[in-house]
């Protein structure tokens, strides 16, 4: 089926639009039910649900791509399924089996095929799976019932302007603690980032960069994306830390730079007072794709990477290769794409 919605796909931004169908599955008495598609995009849950009071919930984000050959592509969906299992384990929720996750994603994407932006528009169908702990409760304990849902919505670039340099600033807040939940995708991390995000966007920045919560000397990640830098001698560097979200995009870029481009790669500490080691830098993630970082302000210091207006050559090459794989223009490494009609 082709897209028949009358939409200006180039300018949809990153916002929600109601679609035809959503997926819902319930976990009760130790098992997930089969799951089904529903029309409504609302849930009725107990007021005592642990998801509401104690943040017992997690989510994922991935995309469906209308590919060059007309098929639909999912990028590394198994990795999202596995990361959601990690999140569930960390906050004592039942895991969704990988096969169930992938089948559910395919089902809801297929049911909303007309919302997949056309090939060449640059837009994609964002897929948001999540698990919440529900049921009557008041004490701090895991829920007795869970709901696994997926909704989808067509999106454009997360950062306004897409592939144009963003302006970041170091936050004085932390989004996660050293032995906390930073490495899993739970809502609490994002609740913690709302106020810092409000402050920095009010000051004219695109988003903030969080430092390591223990010493506040090393870059952890951007609000909703991982950080990478390209050193002046062409090494792909990305921070390593137990409190950042292991980005599937970042892991893919580590593979592409190493195995395809033959660059040296390093996962290591990135000191915020040593940014002049980098010729280019970027933020990477499913929503962010690759967004070049034009500048990073830290207190009175402002570091300009490649340029505040132009995209650096390595960042551009990485972006082209990554979206080439996703849209079916470049051969994907074994197992990265799930394709269906």
185 is catalytic: yes
Q: Which of 28, 36, 63, 185 is catalytic?
A: 185
Residue 61 binds ligand COI, judged by CB under 6 A: yes
Residues that bind ligand PLP (CB under 6 A): 61, 221, 224-226, 245, 247-250, 285-286
Give the CA angle between residues 71, 77, 81 to the nearest 5°. Answer: 150
- Using the minimum distance from each CB to ligand COI, give the nearer residue, 61 or 229: 61
CB nearer to ligand PLP: give 135 or 246: 246
Q: Residue 123: which of ligand COI, ligand PLP, none does it interact with, CB under 5 to 8 A by kind?
A: none
Which residue of the chain is nearest ligand PLP when measured via CB? 285
Q: Using the rule CB under 6 A, is 322 a contact of ligand COI?
A: no
State in angstroms the smallest separation of the CB of 61 from ligand COI: 2
Residue 247 interface partner, choices ligand COI, ligand PLP, none, CB cut-off 5-8 Å depending on type: ligand PLP
Tokens 């390093």 locate to 266
Give the residue carrying structure tokens 């049911």: 111
Number of neighbouring beta carbons within 10 Å of residue 126: 21
Between residues 54 and 59, which has the closer beta carbon with respect to ligand COI? 59
- Range 277-316, binding ligand COI (CB under 6 A): 285-287
- Of 287 and 322, CB closest to ligand COI: 287
Q: Give which of ligand PLP, ligand COI, none residue 248 binds (C-beta under 5 to 8 Å, depending on kind).
A: ligand PLP
Interacting partner of 127 out of ligand PLP, ligand COI, none (Cβ under 5 to 8 A depending on kind):
none
Which residues are catalytic, by number?
A: 185
Residues that bind ligand COI in the complex, under the rule CB under 6 A: 61, 224, 285-287
């Amino acid at each position: 089926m082709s897209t028949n919605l009358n939409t200006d796909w180039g300018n949809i931004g990153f916002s929600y639009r109601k679609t035809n169908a959503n997926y819902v599955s319930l976990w009760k008495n130790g098992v997930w039910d089969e799951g089904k598609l529903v029309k409504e995009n609302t849930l009725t849950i107990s007021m005592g649900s642990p998801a509401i009071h104690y943040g017992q919930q997690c989510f994922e984000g991935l995309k469906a791509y209308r590919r060059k050959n007309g098929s639909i592509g999912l990028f590394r969906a198994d990795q999202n399924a596995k990361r959601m299992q990690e999140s569930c384990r960390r906050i004592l929720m039942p895991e969704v089996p990988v096969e169930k996750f992938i089948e559910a994603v395919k089902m809801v994407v297929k049911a909303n095929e007309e919302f997949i932006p056309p090939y060449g528009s640059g837009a994609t169908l964002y897929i948001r799976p999540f698990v919440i702990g529900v049921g009557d409760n008041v004490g701090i304990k895991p829920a007795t019932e869970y709901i696994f849902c997926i909704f989808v919505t067509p999106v454009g670039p997360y950062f306004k302007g897409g592939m144009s340099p963003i302006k970041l600033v170091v936050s004085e807040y932390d989004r996660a603690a050293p032995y906390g939940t930073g490495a899993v995708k739970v809502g609490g991390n994002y609740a913690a980032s709302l106020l810092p995000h409000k402050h920095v966007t009010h000051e004219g920045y695109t988003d903030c960069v969080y430092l390591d919560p223990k010493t506040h000397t090393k870059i952890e990640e951007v609000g909703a994306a991982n950080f990478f830098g390209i050193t002046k001698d062409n090494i792909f560097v990305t921070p390593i830390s137990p409190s950042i979200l292991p980005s599937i995009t970042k892991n893919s870029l580590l593979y592409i730079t190493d195995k395809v481009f033959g660059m040296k790669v390093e996962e290591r500490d990135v000191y915020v007072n040593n940014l002049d080691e980098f010729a280019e830098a970027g933020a990477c993630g499913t929503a962010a794709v690759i967004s070049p970082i034009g500048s990073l302000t830290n207190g009175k210091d402002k570091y300009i990477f490649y340029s505040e207006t132009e995209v650096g050559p390595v960042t551009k090459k990485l972006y082209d290769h990554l979206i080439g794989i996703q849209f079916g223009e470049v051969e994907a490494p074994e197992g990265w794409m799930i394709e269906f009609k």
